[in-house]
Structure 1
């Protein structure tokens, strides 16, 4: 059975990014004129967007710490100021485009900045309540910078103090600082900082930026300290469910089988009616802006009439990923982001039917982590095509290079550069797909009741 997920006649990608991505063009920008052209040139040539996840004590995503990795071997190597402007340009183009505004909801971006960066007009193109600027004490204490710090803080920008053992003594500077880097989250250091905060004021949010194991992460969770987690950190341990799927997962798998067998709508609708909550969640996703139906859908029969079976299989895949309440919430977001990124990278490079399967490849590559069930057992229950299973189990076949690129972008910038070159895609295309996927996963999360 061919699954043309979300592809309506004459339509581009679900979030409006597909045509631009396929052509290697950004979907939006900071404006027009020579300066924008100059930024685009830097953006095209300089490197890749990297990020770490900000997680709270329940492992929910609260934000991202964004960075720029210059393309390995670039000559000449872009200076730090140019790299930061390239990062800002990508963020503005793909996460805060003029036509839609901020695409990450209440999520926050952490940006490492220098004094000079505070004065960039591009910085103020971003919503201040969603931006935290990370600086060392030397830069924050610069007398010539104080007025700008106060101005930005009054606008709503946050400031994280990096590489300091305690809050500064200067009371005015304390008013500027909204976040504090507490390194590996040492309990004594956290206690000292909290004791040092004056009563009655807004508490400084503590973030452990150097977490190297899930044991450290658990200790930070006990202290109610947020953490930054990079892709290179192995996935958290998952409690396996005695080789059995949970009841909701079983129902979703059954529905996926019915769609794969092309059973009639009445039979599928009858099975779905046994779980009102699942029906509600499915219709919420189908009615999300990402699907582009243009009309509110009230029933499964209406959905099939408007869109066909393919979107149902796609959304059931998403619901399967969220069906294990014991899995870490950030892993669900990671899987959905990876699926969308892999799908976007395949658009325009593979025939439509094959490119659409890439979403399933990307998302299902983490499904064992989400369900707590061995991968082979999951794939035995959800009978995906041979090519999809080959990519997931052996990292081989036509879909494998796109999955490998997604994994490299999460962990290894140098490898990402090599793999994107092998696929004949530019860093700008990779960045556009990655940030578009990040925004799309946030929209999915919002329809699941997240932030």
Structure 2
């Protein structure tokens, strides 16, 4: 997939957020009650997610959910709306867009028969169901069929392991709540031999002590958007961060290319990453660039500032991988939400607003101290520090989607954007962050 880090809205091939949503064809004159519920759920529902983290806080997957703002959709309609949204934006005809990440979907029995669900890559999808649905004899043949195709199944909220040997063979993942020690012990002692171990996943976390306890047991944890690890205060910027900040200051002062080249030469690793980036197929300059001066000239100051902001967010090696990923995703999400509403020239500022809203947590340095050094524009600082100004509504909407606090419908309405537009931008940012973090943190 093409990595369009520097592609600008309005350029050839660029898709604005309102164009990410396919126009809905006129339906039948009289829809069934089920169809009406689905249409309502799709029109007023928002995607939310939790990140699956391993013991090293690396992202291994995502558990998606559907938040129905209308309050009128039943579980079946919500489930179908979620599956169709995931299929549309993450599994288009060109192929699966989330790489190796696992995707967890809470599904109803009737969702098992959806073409959209069966069209997802089975090796990446874990279907989450309760014991009543999994143990229903009428669904057994479909469960066995899907398991044979490669889909995983997580037993949700169990009190114990299933006693049915056939059902135990279907279950690939087990929900262990907040890391229930008794359930973890039972699961590891009672799982069948001759097959891959059942993966244990803590689906709730009351605090980061729970995470640490699960990490000691090698149990992955689902972390929601409102949950963030304690900030590791470092007191001052790390050496790599200082150099990146200095380069950003030079760009803001519009210093000449020769001076920027001299500063870059002080860090071999940074030089290598810049040259690797400018020579990547995504940039497509057409000729091999081997000199720093040529690289800076080819890239341009604004795109270089944007790239440095991403590097700054990932420069503290003590920061957790998933918080870096969250910052990258937020930057892109804010940028996509502003496309079509603000001039194309504001694209980089929107991205920086999203990224820098988490920079203090990533660097372990107070926000005001970072902003004093980087010297961002007043409007960008307003959005970051006080959620005011022209960029603030976009940042607030993105934060509402991430934290799943219920404010997304109101904030989206204030910006005159639909739930479909928000979901399209959200999932697109998720895909983009997967690609960006893979390249820039390598």
TM-score (norm 2): 0.91
Matches within 5 A, 1:356-375: 356-375=348-367
CA contact (8 A) 1:346 1:358 kept: yes
In the TM superposition, residue 353 of structure 1 has moved relative to its aligned partner by 2.3
Q: 1:282 aligns with which of 269, 274, 277?
A: 274
Matched, 1:240 2:233: yes
Give the secondary structure class of the aligned counterpart of 2:64.
Answer: strand
Equivalent residue in structure 2 for 1:56, among 32, 54, 57:
54
2:137 aligns to what? Answer: 143
Is residue 124 from structure 1 mapped to residue 122 from structure 2 by the alignment?
A: no
SS of the residue 2:407 aligns to: helix
Deviations 1:306-328 (A, max 9, x none): 34111111111111111111111
Post-superposition, which runs of at least 4 consecutive aligned residues in structure 1 deviate over 6 A?
32-35, 37-40
Structure with the bigger RCO (C-alpha within 8 Å, sep 6+) is 1
Within 5 Å, which residues of 2 pair with 1:400-411? 400-411=392-403
Residue in structure 2 matching 1:91, options 86, 89, 104: 86
* 2:8/2:14 contact within 8 Å kept: no
Match of 2:326 in 1: 334
Corresponding residue number in structure 2 for 1:381: 373
Determine whether 1:440 maps to 2:426: no
For 1:347 and 1:247, the matched residues in 2 are separated by 35
Distance change >3 Å, CA 399–CA 133, structure 1 → 2: same
Aligned equivalents of 1:419 and 1:184: distance in 2? 32
**Counterparts in 2 of 1:148 and 1:289: CA distance versus 1, 3 Å:** farther
Q: CA deviation at 1:193?
A: 1.4
Residue of structure 1 equivalent to 2:146? 152
Question: For residues 371 and 438 of structure 1, do their structure 2 counterparts lie closer, same or farther at Cα, with a shift above 3 Å needed?
Answer: same
1:6 aligned residue: 6
Q: For residue 109 of structure 1, give the secondary structure of its aligned residue in structure 2.
A: strand
1:182 to 176, 181, 190: 176
Alignment match of 1:25 (pick from 21, 27, 52): 21
Judged with a 3 Å threshold, the aligned counterparts in structure 2 of structure 1 residues 287 and 169 are, in CA distance, closer, same or farther, namely farther
Are residues 194 and 24 of structure 1, via their aligned partners in 2, closer, same or farther at CA, if it must alter by over 3 Å?
A: closer
Distance of 2:303 and 2:279 partners within structure 1: 11
Instruction: Assess if the C-alpha contact under 8 Å between 1:257 and 1:382 holds in 2.
Output: yes
Which one of the candidate residues 148, 156, 160 is aligned to 1:162?
156
Task: Give the conservation status (yes or no) of the 8 Å contact 2:261–2:296.
Answer: no
**RMSD of equivalent CA atoms:** 2.6
Cα distance between partner residues in 2 of 1:198 and 1:248: 49
SS at match of 1:18: coil
Q: Distance in 2 between matches of 1:426 and 1:369?
A: 31
Cα contact 1:338–1:406 (8 A) shared by 2: yes
Q: Which consecutive residues of structure 2, in runs of 5 or more, have no partner in the other structure?
A: none
C-alpha distance in 2, partners of 1:9/1:423? 19
Note the alpha carbon deviations across 1:25-64, whole angstroms, 9 max, x for none: 349x9xx9979x9899567513101111111111111111
Partner of 1:110: 104
Does the CA contact (< 8 Å) of 1:46 and 1:86 recur in 2?
A: no
* Rounded Cα–Cα distance in structure 2 between residues aligned with 1:287 and 1:334: 27
- Give 1:399 shift: 0.8
Offset at residue 23 of structure 1 (A): 4.2
Name structure 1 gaps, 5 residues minimum: none
User: Could you state the TM-score of these two structures normalised by the residue count of structure 1?
Assistant: 0.89
Q: Using the alignment, how far apart are the partners of 1:263 and 1:6 within structure 2?
A: 22
Output one character per residue of 1:370-399: Cα deviation in whole Å (capped at 9) or x when no partner: 000000111111111111111111111111
Aligned residues of 1:165 and 1:182 also touching (Cα < 8 A):
no
1:230 aligns with 2:218: no
Give, in angstroms, the shift of residue 290 of structure 1.
Answer: 5.8
Q: CA deviation at 1:440?
A: 0.3
How many residue pairs match? The answer is 432
Instruction: For 1:146 and 1:96, locate their aligned partners in 2 and report how far apart those are by CA, in whole Å.
Output: 27
Question: Which whole-Å CA distance do the structure 2 matches of 1:294 and 1:214 have between them?
Answer: 48
Q: In the alignment, is the contact (CA less than 8 A) between 1:367 and 1:375 conserved in 2?
A: yes
- Higher mean alpha-carbon deviation, 301-310 vs 360-369, is at 301-310
SS in 2 for 1:441: helix
For each residue in 1:327-346, what CA deviation from the matched residue of structure 2 results, as whole angstroms up to 9, or x when unmatched? 11110000110010000001
Q: What residue is the counterpart of 2:202 in the other structure?
A: 208
